[in-house]
Structures are given as C-alpha cells and as structure tokens.
A = this chain, B = another copy of it.
Amino acid sequence: MQILVTGTAAFDTIETPFGIKENVLGGSAIHFSVAASFLSLVRIVADVGPDFPAAHLKYLETKGVDTHGIRKSEQPTFAWKGKYEYDMAVAHTLDTRLGALASFDPELTEAEKKAPFLFLANLDPDIQWKILSQMETPRYIGLDSMNFWLDQKKEKVWKVLKKADVLFLNDAEIRQLSGEASLIKAARLVQKNGPSIVLVKKGEHGVLAVGKDFTFITAAFPTETVKDPTGAGDSFAGGFFSYMADQVLNAQATVSEQLIRQAVVWGAAVASFNVENFSTNGLDKISREDIVSRCLDIHEFTRFERHG
C-alpha cells in the first residue's frame, strides 16, 4: 500500500443537458483511487451498504485498487443526485441520502496506519481529524473539503489543513476559506498559514498552484466533449497524488518544485479523461501512455519562447 484514501463510495445519479445516468458508481474515494491506479497502489477506506454490488468491487480490483479497506455498513450506500446546466461548470445537488456515510468513523488497521501517503478526500473534518490522528508517520498528506464544511465547521477545516502538505480546493472554496476575493492572494494566505502547497481547481480554466517559493498555473486540456464533470476534482487529486507517490516512493525523488509542476499537469490530464464520460468510465479504456500523451499535448499547447 502506497496511498491510503478515505472518502465516499457512492451511487451517483447525474443529470446533464446531454443525458442522465442513474445510480452509477461514484464518490470521492472511488474517483480518486481509479485516477491514482495508473501509477500507485491505493487502498480505499470507506463504508458501503449491503446494496453495494460485488461487481463494483471486482471492477476496482481489475484497476489494481485495493478494496480490502471498504467496510460493510448495515445502512445503504451513500447516494447523491446532481444536475449540471449547459455550461457544465457547477453541480447543483438535487438529493442526498447519507446512509452508511452518517456513521462513518473507521478504525484503521495496523497496515493502514503505516501508509506513507494519506489522502483525506472530502468528508466531515472531525472524521478527517480522527483518521489523521490514527496514522503513524505519514510522509505526505493531502486534503480536500467543500463549501458545506466551510459553512459548518470552518475552524475544524483549518485545524486539519495545518497538518496537510497539500490542500485541494476550488476557486469558490478558497475564497470562502480565506475571505479574500483575489485567487492568488487567497491561495498565498492559506499557503502561509498551513500546507506547503495550495492547489486551486478552476475547472475548465485549469489549476493555480501556490507553493512556498513559486506559483504555477496550468491550463486544463481543452477537451471537446464534456459529458459529466462529476469527480473531476477527485480525479485531479488522484492523478497529482499518485504522481508524487510514484516519484517519491518508486523513483526516490525529493519533493521539488519541478516535481510539483509535473504532478499538477499529470492530474489535469487524468481529470480531462474523467469528464469525457459518466462515472469513472472516461478512465476505463486509457493507459498510462495516453496520460503521458495528453501531458505532452498540454506542454505543446502552453509553451512559448521567452521574450527579450
């Protein structure tokens, strides 16, 4: 196990102007782990209900995801229903059934406590803190959250993020967290008071990364077909995190500015495949080489000679 991810495993019902899909496999931990599976060994820690099909577990296992941390609850699997308008930018929640998620409070196994990379996908920050507290000596900690928790428990989110190495939020969330309208000011403010890297997800407009001594901005891959943006942020996080884990654990690289820039682009490339289809289907028929190819495309789309 290289990466431990905790978050949701869910049934998603998605309405877009281009189609509707009912009760497909979704959830933050699922999108993250499928996206990370191209480079890293990931174990999911999540609760699902008796209604969670064995076929979903089997599917994850064929992707190389370790499903032994998926606990069976007596409550039904968490379910989310959302809708996107024509611009596909913002998800409007139509319905939420917490089910198994309401009582999610896992006790980690000894092996799980030893995972070198920990990703806390979007979840109640009190639960994120309890999971974090069980870990022995994680080398790299990633954190995601959302507007709901920033409304309800902003101080708790701050408490967790001070322990994180990298924070993932979208543009609206970082403004809400920091109380600052300018994205660059908002990201710098949070970066100075917490994680060494803040990654601001801007959807089709790419990603702003603010580190200790540098700023990096990448475009999103300009995909022509966006069918379902659900999980784009989790896929970006899975791509980024697995690239870091692979380089640090397998290639013995140190966490450098150059590595972070490449990991951001890798995450953006993975996310661009995810949005091209419903559920995790956009990642089903691609290989590691396809992701490399899209990273090279992003490089080609954004390069220019220095002036002067």
A residues in contact (CB < 8 Å) with B: 86-87, 181-185, 202, 204-206, 208, 214-219, 222-226, 258, 261-262, 264-266, 292, 295-296, 299-308
Query: Whose C-beta in chain B lies nearest to the C-beta of A87?
Result: B181
Contact B295 A299 (CB under 8 A): no
User: Which one of B87, B206, B306 contacts A299 once the chains associate, using CB atoms below 8 Å?
Assistant: B306
Q: Chain B's nearest CB lies how many Å from the CB of A88?
A: 8
Known: A258-B305, A299-B304, A302-B302. 4 other contacts (CB 8 A): A206-B219, A216-B302, A217-B302, A296-B308
Contact A217 B219 (CB under 8 A): yes
Query: Whose C-beta in chain B lies nearest to the C-beta of A299?
Result: B306
- How far is B205's CA from A261's CA once the two chains are assembled, in angstroms? 18
Given contacts A262-B304, A296-B308, A307-B262, contact A182 B226 (CB under 8 A): yes
Query: Whose C-beta in chain B lies nearest to the C-beta of A266?
Result: B307
Given contacts A181-B87, A222-B184, A222-B208, contact A265 B307 (CB under 8 A): yes
Q: Chain B's nearest CB lies how many Å from the CB of A133?
A: 35
Q: Chain B's nearest CB lies how many Å from the CB of A190?
A: 15
Given contacts A181-B86, A299-B304, A307-B296, contact A222 B218 (CB under 8 A): no
Q: Chain B's nearest CB lies how many Å from the CB of A63?
A: 21
Query: Whose C-beta in chain B lies nearest to the C-beta of A306?
Result: B299
Contact B217 A222 (CB under 8 A): yes
Count copies of this chain in the complex.
2
3 shortest interchain CB distances as A-B pairs: A205-B205, A261-B304, A184-B222
Contact A296 B301 (CB under 8 A): no
Q: Chain B's nearest CB lies how many Å from the CB of A139?
A: 23
Q: Which residues of B contact A181 (CB under 8 A)?
A: 86-87
- How far is B303's CA from A181's CA once the two chains are assembled, in angstroms? 26
Q: Chain B's nearest CB lies how many Å from the CB of A127?
A: 33
- How far is B296's CA from A222's CA once the two chains are assembled, in angstroms? 24
Q: Chain B's nearest CB lies how many Å from the CB of A217?
A: 4
Q: List 26 A-B contacts (CB under 8 A).
A: A86-B181, A183-B222, A184-B222, A184-B224, A205-B205, A205-B206, A206-B219, A208-B222, A214-B300, A216-B301, A216-B302, A216-B304, A217-B222, A218-B302, A218-B304, A261-B305, A262-B304, A262-B305, A265-B304, A265-B307, A295-B306, A295-B307, A296-B306, A296-B307, A299-B304, A299-B307
User: Which one of B206, B218, B299, B304 contacts A258 once the chains associate, using CB atoms below 8 Å?
Assistant: B304
Q: Which residues of B contact A87 (CB under 8 A)?
A: 181
User: Which one of B205, B300, B301 contacts A202 once the chains associate, using CB atoms below 8 Å?
Assistant: B205
User: Which one of B202, B224, B307 contacts A185 once the chains associate, using CB atoms below 8 Å?
Assistant: B224
Q: Chain B's nearest CB lies how many Å from the CB of A76?
A: 36
Q: Which residues of B contact A208 (CB under 8 A)?
A: 222
